Amino acid sequence: MHFFIYCVTYPLLWFISKLPWRLFYGFSSMIFFLIYYVIRYRRKTVTKNLNLVFPEKSVAQIKAIRKEFFRHMCDMFLEMIKSMAISNDEMKERFKVTNLDKLHQLEKKGDNIMVFMAHYASYEWSNVVDLQTDFQAVGIYKKIGNPYFDRLVRRIRARFGSRVVTTKNAMKEITEDQEKNRGLYMYGLVSDQSPKIHNAMYWTDFMGIKAPTFLGAEVLAKRSGMNVYYLKVEKLKRGYYEAEFVTITEDSKNCEDFYIVKKYLNILEEQIKNNPAYYLWSHKRWKHSNSISEAPKGATID
């Protein structure tokens, strides 16, 4: 069945990836209408999340953010598909990094780096960085159930030279890279979603609500002494993004526990408050916010 679904779907994805930009975003607008007004995909979840973190906003304001979010979500999902056919030059034109000189300085020093990312603006096009530096980018992702679509997503995300590693194997592979000194690496992890309750070892405020947070990227960075940055991506207009590497710490081994995660969340919070429509509100980020009593023994509640 997995193979059948893939065979039926892939030709449509390929066709979408080949559309000229005007038709491409016209198609995205049609998908938005279907998702938002007809299927009403996760509208309750999005509304609940927005009301939770923005209690001061009016009903009209929440609806406006919700609508703009769904427009952006459709664009972003289809932009991942567009990555199947987009040229290197187009990618660099549409996703610009403002301080590549910082990465080039780190290259000269031979420093491996950990890059925190978030479900904000465009995280799918961030692999364009791999075209412009000597770092071997390593992206960590959650494996997809359908093995054929999983293979396709891996191929899309690795198209510009990135190595793609599942969350299950991330700790092992990154540790091996560092121990064997295999080269110059940039590890990218999207760390803003909610861990499973039995893995929730650290709870802190995120958008004013106590919630569990992933610690894997911080643990790996501190263990290997890697410099840590946040890839701050902003949406300029439809189909165009600008990114900046923001320093979290360049002395990770001497950081207090949880400093890296807290600073990362603080930067992300500021982004979300400035322009909330571009965050991924359709996921249940705060689903464990009322479950602190279920946290594992020894968990830290900040």
Q: Which domain holds residue 112?
A: 91-301
The residues with which 108 forms a beta bridge, in sequence order, are none
* Dihedral sign computed on CA atoms, order 105, 111, 112, 116: negative
Quote the pLDDT of residue 184.
87
300-301 β-sheet, strand order: 209-212, 202-206, 300-301
Tally the domains of the chain. 1
How far apart (Å, rounded) are the C-alpha atoms in residues 16 and 301?
Answer: 46
In a domain, 144, yes or no: yes
- pLDDT digits 0-9 by tens, 217-264: 999 899 888 999 999 999 999 999 999 999 999 999 999 999 999 999
In a domain, 67, yes or no: no
Q: How confident is the model at residue 199 (pLDDT cuts 50, 70, 90)?
A: confident
In a domain, 47, yes or no: no
Contacts of 86 (CB under 8 A, 6+ apart): 17, 94
What is the CATH number for 278?
A: 3.40.1130
In a domain, 28, yes or no: no
| Residue with more model confidence, 53 or 196 | 53
Q: Is the pLDDT of residue 74 over 80?
A: yes
Q: Is the pLDDT of residue 109 over 90?
A: no
In a domain, 238, yes or no: yes
In a domain, 292, yes or no: yes
Q: How confident is the model at residue 31 (pLDDT cuts 50, 70, 90)?
A: very high
In a domain, 235, yes or no: yes
Q: Which of 86-90, 176-180, 182-186, 188-192 has the lowest mean pLDDT?
A: 176-180
